[in-house]
């Protein structure tokens, strides 16, 4: 076992979350710590071979567990409110433009003088005389240039508006300021630990210890730390967990080389993104065994696209704004996404698991990929707006089909992106205002995080209504008997829908035409999902209880492949 302890010497940790620059990161990600070790490695040039080998060993290890304070830092506690701080700029000045020219003139003079000095002997041939003349002329020209520039510094005749403003802004009290933010957290326990299960060799351990000794900060320079390998038995409280809610960035083999390569480019000055692997972490369960919950035919690693509100069109150059549709327009977005991928495919035979149709055109019997618009629901200020769209994969998707799907997405990004980085695409359609999306691996918003929709629970409530597979009867009949029977039919239909997607039959189902979650919309706001000639399917909201916790994603009913019947697991 290798256990490294880090103490926040000033009690504070300032580091920006990778997916939300207005928030502080906590707990400190293992990838960030690895970067700190790499920075220490490069304290000495040339790099120490043993230290390098030790880091190469460390990067091959599986993601570490952690002992870290997770109770005193959460949404409400331990975080300083992020406020704009105005930092004085330094790129201001009156002589700033002149300085590089002066330097160039001086350099020209020096090289001319050196060249002349090189011609030690008096010129004998005409060519040598001409050469010397030329060098002397260059020297004179550079000297004149220098004199002229130096004179310009003394020039008090003109005063353009720009120069006046610069002169005023350079004085300390009036210095122009630039906005920066410094998100910080203050955990009650200032020490935390990373724990790897494997033992390093004695050489590697000693090298790692030397590296740890040189780690002075983690995150911003104001997060000064103390770092040391500890020997005692350590019981982690945060471990890698596929069901965990936290996503921390970790490293994999090749990270050291990648970081060193990236450094050549950014030199710690340009903006850069830390290469990393996402790893879900969860708090250690109280019980010894993690129970396995029943799950649906759909998987919980989705392909998520987040809504991008503003994008600059690459060709037209204009700034475009995305629409902010409510979840009732979600099926249009889902359809648009599906069509975009079909178009990227180009009409050749798509496997059933992707197209949703068998060879002969009939609807597929097997589960296939679903498209869902993800609405912001269930929180105090939830407005039901669509935050993004996701492609939900069936668990049974073969790796070949999976690769095909990724190929389609890549093709879509390549051919249909609107911005210069080729990452933002437009979902459009006849009835749809432009909606811009970008694929994201680390969604910041809860609505876009698959865990929000997939975590185990005994109770699920619809965020978008279920389109019932069969007509239940008149739910709004004035005759009590009819309405009641229709209601029973609907409930049974929903129970059957649960079974169809692989869940056990629910304990009870309650239906409603009005929204059951804050932010979601009434059932009748959703456009019916139908083909021409078909009857309109009845849409209802539902609250479903199961006897034991089940794991999502739970999408039910006839419209499930287009995002209708998307249910949110709620706490009971």
Partner 1 sequence: MIEANAVVPTLKRLTDFVAGGAVALRGRAVLEPAGGPGDKVFPPTHLIDKNARDAGAKYAAERRVIEGAVQDCVLLDSVQSQANRMEEALQALWADKRISLPVIAVDFSKVAADVGRVTSLTAPHRVADALLRDSLLNGTLFRLSDLGKSFTDATPRNAAPLFRVCPTGLVFGVWDSTGPKGGLGSKFARALVSEIVGVGAVYGTKTSSRIDPAGIVNKAAEVLQAADPNDGWTHDPALAAKDSKGTALKKGDGKATEVNHSNFPPTLDALGGGVTIDHAQHTVVISLAALRKLSFGTHDTDARTVLAALGVLAILAAEDRGHDLRSRCLLVPREGHALALSAVKRDGSTEPLSLDLNGAIELYNESVRALPEDLRFKTGPGEPLATLSPSPKLAHLVQKSRELAAAGVDLEEP
Task: Identify residues 180-209 at the interface with partner 1 (CB under 8 A).
Answer: 186, 188, 191
Instruction: Please report how close the Cβ of residue 94 comes to partner 1 at its closest, in angstroms.
Output: 5
Q: Which residues have CB under 8 Å from 419's CB, separation 6+?
A: 311, 312, 313, 314
> Given the structure tokens 């932010």, which residue do they identify?
519
Instruction: Please report how close the Cβ of residue 197 comes to partner 1 at its closest, in angstroms.
Output: 23
φ and ψ of 525, to 5 deg: -70, -20
| Residue of 2, 5, 23, 526 that binds partner 1 (CB under 8 A) | 5
| Residue of 163, 199, 301, 383 that binds partner 1 (CB under 8 A) | 163
Sign of CA dihedral 383, 387, 390, 395: negative
Binding piece for partner 1, criterion CB under 8 A, among 137-145, 164-172, 309-317, 431-439: 164-172
* Cβ distance to partner 1 smaller for residue 102 or 246: 102
| Residue of 117, 122, 127, 162 that binds partner 1 (CB under 8 A) | 162
| Residue of 49, 91, 360, 365 that binds partner 1 (CB under 8 A) | 91
> Given the structure tokens 């095909």, which residue do they identify?
404
Measuring CA to CA, how many Å separate 561 from each of 161, 295, 368? 62, 17, 8
* Cβ distance to partner 1 smaller for residue 93 or 504: 93
Binding piece for partner 1, criterion CB under 8 A, among 108-116, 152-160, 358-366, 491-499: 152-160
SS3 239: strand
> Given the structure tokens 């979840």, which residue do they identify?
327
| Residue of 30, 78, 367, 465 that binds partner 1 (CB under 8 A) | 78
**Cα 14 to Cα 184: distance, rounded to the nearest angstrom:** 4
Instruction: Please report how close the Cβ of residue 26 comes to partner 1 at its closest, in angstroms.
Output: 13
**Cα 509 to Cα 540: distance, rounded to the nearest angstrom:** 11
Q: Does 216 bind partner 1 (CB under 8 A)?
A: yes
Residues in 122-151 that interact with partner 1 by CB under 8 A: 150
Residues in 103-122 that interact with partner 1 by CB under 8 A: 103, 106
* Cβ distance to partner 1 smaller for residue 184 or 386: 184
Q: DSSP characters for 156-225?
A: -S---HHHHHHHHHHSGGG--EEEE---EE--SS-EEEEEESSPPPHHHHHHHHHHHHT--BSSSTT-BE
φ and ψ of 568, to 5 deg: -100, 130
Instruction: Please report how close the Cβ of residue 60 comes to partner 1 at its closest, in angstroms.
Output: 27
Question: Which of the 8 DSSP states describes residue 527?
Answer: P
Instruction: Please report how close the Cβ of residue 228 comes to partner 1 at its closest, in angstroms.
Output: 5
Binding piece for partner 1, criterion CB under 8 A, among 212-220, 343-351, 447-455, 473-481: 212-220
Residue of 248, 240, 250 whose CA lies nearest to 284: 240
Q: Does 153 bind partner 1 (CB under 8 A)?
A: yes
* Cβ distance to partner 1 smaller for residue 101 or 485: 101
CA atoms within 13 A on the CB side of 165: 4
Residues in 261-300 that interact with partner 1 by CB under 8 A: 267-270
**Cα 313 to Cα 429: distance, rounded to the nearest angstrom:** 18
| Residue of 17, 108, 166, 570 that binds partner 1 (CB under 8 A) | 166
* Pairing mode, strands 184-185 and 566-570: unpaired
| Binding track over 12-31 against partner 1, x by CB under 8 A | x-------------------
Q: Does 96 bind partner 1 (CB under 8 A)?
A: yes
Q: Does 94 bind partner 1 (CB under 8 A)?
A: yes
Total length of the chain: 572
| Residue of 95, 147, 358, 410 that binds partner 1 (CB under 8 A) | 95
What angle, rounded to 10 degrees, do the helices at 49-60 and 255-266 form?
A: 120
Sign of CA dihedral 455, 460, 466, 468: positive
Instruction: Please report how close the Cβ of residue 158 comes to partner 1 at its closest, in angstroms.
Output: 9
| Residue of 134, 137, 148, 168 that binds partner 1 (CB under 8 A) | 168
| Binding track over 57-76 against partner 1, x by CB under 8 A | --------------xx---x
User: How far, rounded to the nearest angstrom, does the alpha carbon of residue 245 sit from its chain's CA centroid?
Assistant: 15
Q: Pull the structure tokens for residue 362.
A: 């009939």
Binding piece for partner 1, criterion CB under 8 A, among 7-15, 271-279, 308-316, 520-528: 7-15
Q: Which residues have CB under 8 Å from 441's CB, separation 6+?
A: 278, 304
Q: Which residues have CB under 8 Å from 67's CB, separation 6+?
A: 192, 193, 195, 234, 235, 236, 237, 238
**Cα 111 to Cα 131: distance, rounded to the nearest angstrom:** 14
* Cβ distance to partner 1 smaller for residue 171 or 286: 171
| Residue of 46, 49, 83, 399 that binds partner 1 (CB under 8 A) | 83
Q: Does 97 bind partner 1 (CB under 8 A)?
A: no
Residues in 432-471 that interact with partner 1 by CB under 8 A: none
Question: Which of the 8 DSSP states describes residue 315?
Answer: T
Q: Does 345 bind partner 1 (CB under 8 A)?
A: no
* Cβ distance to partner 1 smaller for residue 232 or 365: 232
Instruction: Please report how close the Cβ of residue 516 comes to partner 1 at its closest, in angstroms.
Output: 30
| Residue of 47, 48, 111, 175 that binds partner 1 (CB under 8 A) | 175
Instruction: Please report how close the Cβ of residue 106 comes to partner 1 at its closest, in angstroms.
Output: 7
- Write b or e for each residue in 557-571: b if 16 or more Cβ atoms lie within 10 A of its Cβ, otherwise e: bbbbbbbbbbbbbee
φ and ψ of 312, to 5 deg: -100, 120
* Cβ distance to partner 1 smaller for residue 89 or 314: 89
| Residue of 210, 214, 324, 446 that binds partner 1 (CB under 8 A) | 214
| Residue of 60, 62, 90, 201 that binds partner 1 (CB under 8 A) | 90
| Binding track over 228-267 against partner 1, x by CB under 8 A | x--------------------------------------x
Size of the site for partner 1 (CB under 8 A): 74
Residue of 394, 305, 300 whose CA lies nearest to 341: 305
- Write b or e for each residue in 74-100: b if 16 or more Cβ atoms lie within 10 A of its Cβ, otherwise e: eeeebbeeeeeeeeeeeeeeeeeeeee
């Amino acid at each position: 076992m290798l256990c490294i302890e880090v103490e926040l010497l000033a009690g504070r940790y300032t580091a920006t979350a990778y997916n939300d620059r207005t928030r502080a990161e906590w707990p400190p990600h293992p990838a960030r710590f690895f970067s700190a070790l790499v920075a220490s490695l490069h304290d000495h040039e040339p790099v120490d071979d043993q230290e390098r080998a030790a880091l190469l060993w460390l990067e091959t290890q599986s993601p570490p567990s952690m002992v870290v304070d997770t109770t005193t830092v959460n949404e409400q506690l331990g975080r300083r409110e992020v406020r704009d701080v105005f930092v004085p700029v330094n790129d201001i000045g009156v002589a700033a433009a002149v300085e590089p020219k002066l330097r160039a003139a001086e350099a020209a003079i020096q090289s001319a003088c050196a060249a002349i000095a090189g011609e030690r002997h008096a010129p004998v041939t005409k060519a040598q005389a001409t050469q010397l003349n030329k060098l002397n002329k260059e020297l004179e020209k550079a000297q004149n240039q220098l004199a002229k520039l130096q004179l310009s510094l003394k020039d008090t005749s003109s005063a353009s508006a720009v120069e006046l403003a610069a002169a005023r802004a350079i004085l300390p009290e009036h210095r122009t300021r630039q906005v920066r933010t410094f998100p910080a957290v203050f955990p009650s326990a200032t020490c935390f630990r990373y724990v790897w299960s494997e033992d390093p060799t004695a050489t590697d351990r000693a090298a790692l210890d030397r590296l740890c000794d040189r780690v002075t900060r983690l995150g911003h320079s104001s997060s000064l730390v103390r770092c040391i390998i500890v020997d005692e038995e350590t019981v982690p409280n945060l471990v890698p967990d596929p069901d965990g809610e936290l996503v921390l960035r970790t490293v994999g083999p090749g990270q050291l080389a990648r970081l060193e390569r990236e450094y050549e480019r950014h030199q710690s000055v340009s903006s850069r993104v830390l290469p990393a692997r996402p790893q879900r972490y969860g708090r250690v369960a109280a019980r010894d065994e993690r129970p396995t919950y029943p799950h649906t035919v759909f998987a919980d690693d989705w392909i998520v696209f987040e809504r991008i509100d503003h994008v600059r069109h690459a060709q037209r150059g204009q700034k475009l704004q995305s629409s902010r549709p409510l979840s009732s327009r979600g099926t249009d977005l889902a359809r648009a996404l599906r069509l975009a991928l079909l178009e990227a495919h180009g009409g050749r035979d798509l496997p059933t698991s992707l197209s949703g149709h068998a060879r002969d055109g009939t609807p597929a019997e097997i589960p296939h990929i679903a498209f869902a618009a993800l609405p912001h629901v269930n929180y105090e200020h939830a407005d039901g707006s669509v935050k993004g769209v996701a492609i939900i994969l069936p668990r049974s998707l073969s790796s070949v089909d999976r690769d095909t799907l990724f190929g389609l997405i890549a093709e879509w990004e390549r051919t249909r992106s609107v911005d210069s980085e080729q990452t933002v695409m437009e979902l459009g359609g006849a009835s749809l205002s432009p909606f811009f999306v970008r694929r994201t691996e680390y969604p910041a918003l809860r609505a876009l995080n698959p865990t929000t929709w997939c975590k185990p629970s005994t109770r699920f409530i619809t965020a978008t209504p279920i389109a019932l597979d069969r007509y239940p009867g008149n739910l709004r009949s004035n005759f009590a008997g009819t309405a009641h029977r229709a209601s029973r039919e609907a409930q049974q239909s929903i129970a059957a829908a649960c079974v169809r997607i692989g869940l056990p039959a629910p304990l009870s189902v309650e239906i409603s035409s009005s929204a059951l979650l804050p932010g979601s919309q009434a059932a009748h706001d959703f456009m019916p999902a139908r083909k021409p000639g078909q009857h309109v399917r009845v849409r209802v909201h539902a609250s479903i209880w199961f006897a034991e916790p089940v794991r999502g994603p739970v999408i039910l009913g006839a419209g499930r492949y287009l995002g209708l019947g998307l249910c949110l697991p709620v706490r009971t």
